[in-house]
Chain A
Amino acid sequence: MSNTKTFTRIFTIADYEEEENWLREQSKKGLHLQKMIQPFVYIFEVGEPEDVIYRLDYRNAKGDQDYTQMFADYGWECCGRCFGWIYFRKPASAVNCDEEGELFSDSESRLSMVQHVMMTRMLPVLAVFMCIMIPQWMNVMNRPDEIALEVIFSILMLLYVILILHCGRKLYSLRKKLKKF
């Protein structure tokens, strides 16, 4: 029976580079991603330490046999999916030049991935926040006798704002960085 190890980890839409680095560090310790359970459970197979490069692509379309096949032809094994993110990996020993270790070879296509994430993930979240969360919060705050509810709701709102600011700021700076090339 194979030995496994389970981690939980929160990964926001803007942290895909950190996610890639984290998975690579795990593989160097002999932990190889086996399965992901949405939203944040990672199951690793315990094995020999190996330097494995992980890369994430974002795609919210279905019916993609030809998509994974093309990546497989290029030596990328599809090893997980989570909220539109597709996880690929390739042993570092199979990489002969920088381009072979990347999913994107020009900044234009990398930028279009980041923009795609912003349009399909950030905008809906922002819309829900503006149209549902804020009116609800104002509604709750108008009830003078329910202090506990007010506090809980306010904390939730604060977390929401932090998350939106974090992702927005990061995606924005990623976009800025890529546009400079």
Chain B
Amino acid sequence: MEDRIKKIYCPMTETGFYILYCLQKPQHGYGIGQQVKEMTGNQVIISPGTMYGTLSKMEGDGLIRFDHEEEKRKLYCITPLGEEVLETEKKRIRRLYQNSQGEEYHE
């Protein structure tokens, strides 16, 4: 992973993490928003401007790619680089969680 990507995405925003996580399956912006809302019990709501901006930025940085179009909606999916970033983030969050429970973290 390039240093530039690491600098931008590790750690990443909550919005970024959820979007990347959802794009393990092809999905469009609104669909991602709905899925995130459901899986977080309405705790994380991503507005359209934020969604559109994050998708464009991630596509530009090669974390996700355009998959296909359905009724004027662009569907995206994760790339190998995106998977690498996602794994790095998952590890970081696991460490954070274990430490927050008073446990020590070992890789």
Q: Which residues of chain B in 36-80 are interfacial with respect to chain A, using CB atoms and an 8 Å cutoff?
A: 42, 45-54, 69, 71-74
- What distance in Å separates the Cβ of B20 from its nearest Cβ neighbour in chain A? 15
The answer to whether A140 has its CB under 8 Å from any CB of chain B is no
The answer to whether A65 has its CB under 8 Å from any CB of chain B is yes
A66-B73, A70-B30, A73-B73 are known contacts. Are A97 and B49 too (CB-CB below 8 A)? Answer: no
Contact A99 B45 (CB under 8 A): yes
The answer to whether B15 has its CB under 8 Å from any CB of chain A is yes
Contact A106 B69 (CB under 8 A): no
- What distance in Å separates the Cβ of B71 from its nearest Cβ neighbour in chain A? 8
Report how far A67 CA is from B69 CA in the complex, Å.
Answer: 13
Contact B30 A74 (CB under 8 A): yes
The answer to whether B33 has its CB under 8 Å from any CB of chain A is yes
Q: Which of B13, B42, B48, B69 contacts A71 (CB 8 A)?
A: B48
Contact B49 A109 (CB under 8 A): yes
Contact A104 B72 (CB under 8 A): no
* Complex contacts, B46 vs chain A, CB 8 Å: 105
The answer to whether A25 has its CB under 8 Å from any CB of chain B is no
A74-B30, A106-B13, A109-B54 are known contacts. Are A69 and B72 too (CB-CB below 8 A)? Answer: yes
Contact B72 A57 (CB under 8 A): no
* Complex contacts, A102 vs chain B, CB 8 Å: 47, 49
Count residues of chain A with CB under 8 A from any CB of chain B.
Answer: 23
* Complex contacts, A100 vs chain B, CB 8 Å: 45, 47
Grouping DSSP codes into helix (H, G, I), strand (E, B) and loop, the A interface class, with mixed when no group exceeds half, is helix
- What distance in Å separates the Cβ of B16 from its nearest Cβ neighbour in chain A? 9
* Complex contacts, A48 vs chain B, CB 8 Å: none
* Complex contacts, A99 vs chain B, CB 8 Å: 45, 47
The answer to whether B82 has its CB under 8 Å from any CB of chain A is no
Contact B45 A67 (CB under 8 A): no
- What distance in Å separates the Cβ of A146 from its nearest Cβ neighbour in chain B? 50
Chain A residue at minimal CB-CB distance from B71:
A69
Contact B73 A105 (CB under 8 A): no
Contact A106 B28 (CB under 8 A): no
A106-B50, A112-B53 are known contacts. Are A70 and B73 too (CB-CB below 8 A)? Answer: yes
Given A108-B13, A109-B15, A112-B53, 9 more pairs with CB closer than 8 A = A67-B52, A70-B48, A70-B51, A74-B30, A74-B47, A100-B45, A104-B47, A105-B15, A109-B50
Question: Which 10 residue pairs across A and B have the least CB separation, nearest first?
Answer: A73-B30, A103-B49, A105-B47, A99-B45, A109-B50, A69-B72, A74-B48, A66-B74, A104-B49, A70-B29
